[in-house]
Structure 1
């Protein structure tokens, strides 16, 4: 069961990470976690070469520790698919987050539902693998196998409910104006 729990926890963590990258109109530093900048020949995430702050709900401020990186960071953010136009004063970079339109919010909700469904599929795959292991175990009787499969199913239902709760919370956040 601990192996099953570990795999299911990874699916939940992956879902949380993916939800963190979805732009909701509210400034969120996680949105920059996958954008890399060339730092002395090494592709480095922006969050490792600069301080990312959210001074207000609809603004992120990126303050590089090495001021020579300002232009490289602006180019990396512009080249990404965030849809945000950075502005720089040579010292810091400001990223304004406009509120998404109603249509865009509905698209984001669909994207959230797809991510949640992928997480559910991952959890179901863990359940399937666990059930297959139980069936192949020759030391267990048929009744023991059924009992353990029921425990695995109960565990799976718990994690699917967790995904549904995360999805509900993210949908509410996305649809909030």
Structure 2
């Protein structure tokens, strides 16, 4: 039997992943999420910066990254450069300082476009969940035709609900980006 609660959970997961991915796009000042997801080669493993250092915000305009091991300062610096996120790390020997410049109008528009692209990917993921469950419902010959139609309608309602959630998250982030 097909479980519609699982359908909803999977769609909710897609929206959560999208929301979490948006934290890496800055809307204003310094925020540890700007660099926390960047991975550094640490003992042969790709490890997020936030697991090998502390990241703090200074005066709302700077990030200070203090690695737990001093030998990886250069590796963190290289990883931030390689991430190409528009931030320039300054190696101070035992720590890395990043001055976060204010967003230009052009950069805000680029970020808003990226938010929309990510929203489209999230919508596609929600639709893929719908397609998978619709296929399961149609293939299950033990379900009466009327019940099948009701279940397909419910899956479509869930799809509409979660696509609306993605659009709402996208609209909010876009508004935050365009605020000066």
Do the structures match in fold with TM over 0.5? yes
Tell me, yes or no, if structure 1 residue 140 matches structure 2 residue 143: yes
1:28-82 CA-partner distances (Å, limit 9, x unpaired): 2222234233334443221111001123332211011122322322222223212
5+ unaligned residues in a row in structure 1: which ranges?
A: none
TM-score (norm: length of structure 1): 0.90
Residues in 1 aligned to 2:119 and 2:104: alpha-carbon distance in whole angstroms: 23
Alignment of 1:29-68 (within 5 A): 29-68=32-71
The separation in 1 between residues aligned to 2:81 and 2:135, in whole angstroms, is 48
Choose the corresponding residue for 1:174, options 169, 177, 180.
Answer: 177
Runs of 4+ in structure 1 off by over 4 angstroms are none
The aligned counterpart of 1:6 is: 9
> Structure 1 residues 131, 43: CA separation in 2 closer, same or farther (over 3 Å shift)?
closer
SS in 1 for 2:93: coil
Q: Does 1:78 pair with 2:44?
A: no
Alpha-carbon RMSD across the aligned residues, in angstroms, is 1.8
Query: What SS is found at the alignment partner of 2:57?
Result: strand
**Which consecutive unaligned segments of at least 5 residues does structure 2 have?**
none
1:95 counterpart SS class? strand
Deviation per CA, 1:93-144: give whole Å up to 9, x if none: 1111111211221111111011101111111111122112112221222211
- Alpha-carbon separation, structure 2, partners of 1:113 and 1:51: 31
Say how many residue pairs are matched.
Answer: 177
- CA contact 1:36–1:46 (8 Å) conserved in 2: yes
Instruction: After TM superposition, list the pairs within 5 Å mapping 1:84-95 onto structure 2.
Output: 84-95=87-98
**3-state SS in 2 of match to 1:138:** coil
| Kept in 2: contact 1:25–1:98 (CA 8 A) | no
The verdict on how the C-alpha distance between 1:38 and 1:122 changes in structure 2, with shifts beyond 3 A counting, is: closer
- Out of 129, 134, 142, the position equivalent to 1:131 is 134
Counterparts of 2:129 and 2:79 in 1: how far apart (Å)?
37
